[in-house]
Amino acid sequence: MDYEEQLDRAMDQKPDIAGNESRFEVADPEVRKEGNVTVYENFQSTLDDLSREQDHVLKFLQNELGTSASIDESGRARLTGEFGQTRVADTLDEYVETYVICPECGLPDTNLETVDGTERLHCEACGARSAV
């Protein structure tokens, strides 16, 4: 049996592994309108998914959405104004691209660090350091 035949046989016998290509997922934001405020219900679980500080994520949301925000006693983010789920999700995706995903290897195994007043992304997987 030659190499090609062995390879074909091995490929036929390997198990199909169904699943997502990425092991990194952030739950979609659950938002609802409450008066003139948009309440981001699952903000705390988003922080857990991102492994980032509450103030950093909240400040980014405020800047990108052009609003003010606060955290209530239940840990939910309260954004002044009306923002739909899609807009909040798109803003969260921008945050992930900028502050979570390594620009070198594309993995989410990063930490934020401040060096000489500059925020940098340090990747634990590939060792890359990049300014954000």
Say whether 54 sits in a helix, a strand or coil: helix
The amino acid present at 46, given as its one-letter code, is: T
pLDDT in tens, 69-122: 999 999 999 999 999 999 999 999 999 999 999 999 999 999 999 988 899 999
How many helices (H) and strands (E) would you count in the chain? 4, 7
pLDDT in tens, 32-43: 999 999 999 999
118-123 and 129-131 beta bridge pairing: antiparallel
- One of 3.40.1410.10, 3.30.1360.80, 3.30.70.3150, 1.10.150.120 is the CATH number of 27-100, namely 3.30.70.3150
118-123 and 110-115 beta bridge pairing: antiparallel
What pLDDT is attached to residue 14? 67
Q: Which residue has the tokens 């074909």?
A: 8
pTM: predicted TM-score of the whole model, two decimal places: 0.80
Domain residue extents for the chain: 27-100, 104-131
Is residue 121 within 8 A of residue 132, CB to CB? The reply is: yes
Q: In the predicted model, what is the mean pLDDT of residues 5-17?
A: 71
